[in-house]
A and B are shown apart, each in its own frame.
Chain A
């Protein structure tokens, strides 16, 4: 058979329903993936993207049971007739989180794992490992322990473990989700190169704007398991709702101009005119884990009432370590952290939880209750609130995080995106005065996270909000203050219009300007502040825009 002329992957009328679910996960999906193509699959959480990958790589129906219809052909041969081991040598799958994929304790072990399983001769395995590492430019990582790699390095090692098996089709499930902007750019360049060398690449990604930079040949847009668009990437813009999928800012501006101007509601949380004492004060804080290297170096800054702070910086810059000091989970080796004037060494975490609510990065480490309602009530109960306050807080959090109808569901049975929203709602229900969120939009689709960020900023009881993010646009749209971290130090602390305008500083801190930031900087003389693309679409030369934080009295 001449495999050159046969498309590597053909999906025909594919439908699937998980055994444990009533609704269909995929409905009549058909497409063809050619060699040398990057094929982008976009859509909101729960639209069936990951299910599609599981069907192609054979985990469905082998590991995930359900009703499967339609056909998947790999070089013309039905995957139903192939064992998983045969599929795995043609189709390489890079999972969303490299931490879930990496099995080896050292890089060389990890890359060799699949080849060892194929029973190849030792010399061939070693040669392929070295070739693959060299190809990806990570030969220097060969003998490193995988646990100590940065997020970007882990991603490359996960890819290396797949590429070493020399698959001709690559399936990438949100490969950028855990990467800082520079690592994401590097990953995208690699993906383009892999396709240009003849592999067929199917990439699922929420960060559509980023993927469009490598000019995918084809795109598919899915809603509720159905294909809404299939064709050249250029046509994607026409069918996609810019409120649901994040498009490049110029595209959104172009589309939003045709719509009525959105109502701008400034954040209720606002900086007060009079100077206020610091809510949280970091004074010359240094910290190291056990006998490891110093993670924070002489950090000093103050969170004041009205602050909406975005903490940006590359993986491993010390962002999470920094905010864990704010709630007393970590105590400084040197220096002092004060919460409303009191040294955090003298306060218990529970005492501090009255003032600071901290949303952890991973929801799965905190969800335990039998229902969403019980989960949300857990924190307020611990803080000793009365029943009426608890119920009111829970109801409000359910509403803000779009969890209505799920109150009696088990949080453990929800999707990752829903679990993340439950974890944020659980902290909102505690009504702490300072809200700290670690990667609030990780694993969330654009529409959901923009909606809950909008809602959180309108809540009356927060004095300050701080969020860690890799998403520069989240800082552009919501922050009135940006802290840039680099190698455990504060590289910058100031208004977004100043910090994010310093291109050299951003490059040094591995922050990549987005199209929204670029457009905002161009229009700054007219707007006077950063704003989201939909608002920029309606800015005219004479427009006057309210500054962030204004409007507490407007409502």
Chain B
């Protein structure tokens, strides 16, 4: 059975908005923020995203898990970019000012040895990248906690997707927490058989292989679960023709205003980006520190 995110009625400004308008706004912010590397502009988007989060009256306690998960992923990706220096060179910046040279360093597990050049541009790029990802996360995390799961399908239909795609999006949205639940049950079942995931050893391939007791049941369950869903849908005539969506959505004045704001944000961002503003900004004091 597909489970839903931990949604609950909150009677907030955010929840009173039409979910279609909210998705349009989220999409606008997302597409806009990825056009910039200027930390000052990105911080502006982060402020907007956090503003939405707080207006939705979400608490740290209820959103702690996704924040921790996404936080770990973001920090890991940023660290990886910082280590390798890839992503920014040649796109966000073309010259670098050395702050420090560290090394030789050795990576655990793989044992690679290397020297790390810490440059002003690389450092600011990593920070900008991290703030950008946190802004996107803050926008996205609010959605599942504040949109009624029973409105997912009709929301996507209302955004112009065909019936089948709209319902597929509904199912896909609910598949994420379902996978999380299945993973948790499997982890418990294998731990009860003496399996200790925290004690995995060996090289990367060996470690991945040793994850089979977790990955195989979760994957198989996902496939079998998908087949069950298809059977259940077939047995109730899904896809035989145009369907009625029993839940109705209606735009209000605030929704229309939000859509206009979304369009303006996107248009302004695109224009700003096209004329060359919003590229990587390295604060003067960092350059001075590097002797630039």
Interface residues of A (CB under 8 A from B): 57, 59, 62-63, 83-85, 88-89, 93, 95, 98-106, 108-109, 112-122, 125-126, 129, 145-147, 154, 161-162, 165, 291, 324, 327, 329, 348-350, 353-354, 357-358, 360, 362, 364-368, 378-379, 382-383, 412, 426-427, 430
Shortest CB–CB separation between residue A42 and chain B, in angstroms?
23
Tell me, in angstroms, the Cα distance from A287 to B141 when the chains sit together. 28
**B residues in contact with A365, CB < 8 Å:** 182, 185-186, 189, 217, 221
B240 touches A83 (CB 8 A): yes
B246 touches A366 (CB 8 A): no
Comparing B88-96, B190-198, B259-267, the segment that makes contact with chain A is: B190-198
Q: Provided the pairs A100-B228, A329-B192 are in contact, do residues A366 and B217 lie with their beta carbons within 8 angstroms?
A: yes
* Contact of A125 with B246 at beta-carbon distance under 8 Å, contacts A105-B2, A161-B236, A165-B236 already known: yes
Which residues of B have CB within 8 Å of A364?
A: 217, 220-221, 224
Q: Does B241 make an interface contact (CB < 8 A)?
A: yes
In the complex, what distance in Å separates the CA atom of A118 from the CA atom of B186?
Answer: 38
Instruction: Answer whether A95 and B185 are a contact pair too, CB < 8 Å, given A88-B237, A112-B246, A379-B193.
Output: no
Distance of A525 Cα from B86 Cα, bound (Å): 83
7 A-B pairs with C-beta separation under 8 A = A105-B149, A114-B236, A147-B1, A348-B196, A353-B193, A366-B186, A368-B215
Nearest-Cβ distance from residue A175 to partner chain B, whole angstroms = 15
Q: Does B61 contact A (CB under 8 A)?
A: yes
Given the complex, which residues of A lie within 8 Å of B171, measured CB to CB? 103
In B223-245, the 8 Å CB interface with A consists of 224, 228-245
Q: Given that A118-B237, A125-B244, A365-B185 are known contacts, is A360 also in contact with B228, CB under 8 Å in the complex?
A: no
Residues of chain B with a CB closer than 8 A to A358's CB:
192
**A85 CA to B245 CA in the complex, in Å?**
18
Bound Cα distance from A102 to B231, whole angstroms: 11
Other-chain residue from B191, B213, B216, B247 in contact with A329 (beta carbon distance below 8 A): B191
How far apart sit A162 and B237, CA to CA, in the bound complex (Å)? 11
B8 → chain A closest CB, angstroms: 10
Q: Give CA–CA (A161, B235) in the complex, Å.
A: 11
Interface centre among B152, B188, B236, B238 (most CB of A within 10 A): B236
B212 at the interface (CB under 8 A from A): yes
Q: Are B150 and A366 in contact, with the CB atoms below 8 A?
A: no
A94–B149 CA distance with the chains assembled, in angstroms: 24
> Across the interface, which residues of B come within 8 angstroms of A122, CB to CB?
244, 246, 248
Cα–Cα, bound, A83→B174 (Å): 29
Question: In the complex, what distance in Å separates the CA atom of A83 from the CA atom of B62?
Answer: 46
In the complex the two chains form, is A104's CB within 8 Å of B150's CB? Answer: yes
Known: A59-B231, A63-B231, A119-B242. A366 touches B237 (CB 8 A): no
Residue B3, interface by CB 8 Å:
yes
Given contacts A145-B149, A162-B236, A327-B192, 19 further A-B contacts (CB under 8 A): A93-B235, A114-B237, A122-B248, A145-B4, A291-B61, A329-B192, A349-B192, A350-B191, A350-B194, A350-B196, A360-B192, A362-B185, A364-B221, A366-B186, A367-B220, A368-B215, A378-B213, A382-B196, A412-B216
Question: Whole-angstrom distance between the alpha carbons of A129 and B237 in the complex?
Answer: 17
A360–B190 Cα distance when bound, in Å, is 10
Q: Which of A103, A108, A145, A358 has the most CB of B within 10 A?
A: A103
In the assembled complex, which residues on chain B have CB atoms less than 8 Å from the CB atom of A88? 234-237
Chain B count of residues within 8 A CB distance of the other chain? 53
The residue among A125, A154, A382 with the most chain B CB atoms within 10 A of its own CB is A382
CB distance from A6 to the nearest CB of B (A): 23
CB neighbours (8 Å) of B215 from chain A are 368
- Which residues of B in the span 36-85 have a Cβ within 8 Å of any Cβ on A? 61-62
The reply to whether B1 and A100 form a contact with Cβ atoms under 8 Å apart is: yes
Give every chain B residue within 8 A of A161 (Cβ-Cβ).
236
Closest to B65 in A: A290
Residues of chain A within 8 A of B237, CB atoms compared = 84-85, 88-89, 114, 117-118, 165
**Across the interface, do B185 and A360 meet the contact criterion of CB distance under 8 Å?**
yes
By a CB distance below 8 angstroms, the chain B residues around A291 are 61-62
By DSSP majority rule, is chain A's interface helix, strand, loop, or mixed? helix
Q: In the bound complex, how far is the Cα of B233 from the Cα of A93, in angstroms?
A: 11
Contact: B230 with A382, CB < 8 Å?
no
Which of B62, B149, B235 contacts A59 (CB under 8 A)?
Answer: B235
Residues of A close to B194: CB separation below 8 A: 350, 353-354, 379, 382-383, 430
Residue of B192, B231, B234 with highest tally of chain A CB at under 10 A? B192
Cα(A105)–Cα(B193), bound, Å: 34
Q: A85 CA to B243 CA in the complex, in Å? A: 13
Q: Which has the most chain B C-beta neighbours within 10 Å: A63, A100, A161, A430?
A: A100
CA distance A365 to B188 in the complex (A): 9
- Of the candidates B1, B152, B243, the one whose C-beta lies within 8 Å of that of A99 is B1
Report the nearest A residue to B178, measured CB to CB.
A147
Cβ distance B11 to chain A, nearest Cβ, rounded Å: 16
CB distance from B131 to the nearest CB of A (A): 30
Contact with A along B191-213 (1 / 0, CB 8 A): 11111100000000000000011
B188 and A329: CB pair below 8 A?
Answer: yes
A430 to B235, CA, bound (A): 42
Interface pairs A-B: 4 shortest CB-CB: A382-B194, A114-B236, A368-B216, A99-B1
| Chain A residues, Cβ within 8 Å of B150 | 104-106, 108-109
Q: Give chain B interface residues in 160-190, CB to chain A under 8 Å.
A: 171, 174, 182, 185-186, 188-190
Which residues in B have their C-beta under 8 angstroms from that of A350? 191, 194-196
B1 in complex: contacting residue of A93, A118, A146, A378, CB < 8 Å: A146
**Measured between alpha carbons, how far is A147 from B4 in the docked complex, in Å?**
8
- In chain A, what residue has the closest Cβ to B152? A105
Distance (Å) between the CB of B58 and the closest chain A CB? Answer: 13
Contact B192 A103 (CB under 8 A): no
A427 to B216, CA, bound (A): 19
| Interface-central residue, A88, A154, A364, by most chain B CB under 10 Å | A364
Q: What 1/0 flags go to B143-154 for Cβ under 8 Å of A?
A: 000000110100
Closest to A329 in B: B188
B31 CB to closest chain A CB (Å) equals 28
Indicate if the CB atoms of A103 and B229 lie closer than 8 Å. Answer: yes
Q: Which of B149, B231, B246 has the most CB of A within 10 A?
A: B246
Bound-complex Cα distance A217 to B44 (A): 72
Q: Tell me how far the C-beta of A411 lies from the nearest C-beta in chain B, rounded to whole angstroms.
A: 10
Q: B241's closest neighbor in chain A, by CB?
A: A119
Residue of A nearest to B4 (CB): A105
- Please name all residues of chain A whose beta carbon is closer than 8 Å to the beta carbon of B229 when the two chains form the complex: 103
Nearest CB in chain B: distance from A525 CB, A: 43
Which residues of B have CB within 8 Å of A114?
236-237
Checking B213, B230, B245 against A368 with a beta-carbon cut-off of 8 angstroms, the contacting residue is: B213
A105's contact among B174, B231, B236, B242, by CB below 8 Å, is which?
A: B174
User: Cβ of B234 and Cβ of A115 under 8 Å apart?
Assistant: no
| Contact across chains for A360 and B189 when beta carbons are under 8 A apart | yes
CA A122 – CA B149 in complex, angstroms? 20
Closest to A98 in B: B1
A367 B217 Cβ-Cβ under 8 A: yes
Complex Cα spacing A324 to B240, Å? 45
Residues of B within 8 A of A125 (CB): 244, 246
Q: By the criterion CB–CB under 8 Å, are A103 and B232 in contact?
A: yes
Contact with A along B16-45 (1 / 0, CB 8 A): 000000000000000000000000000000
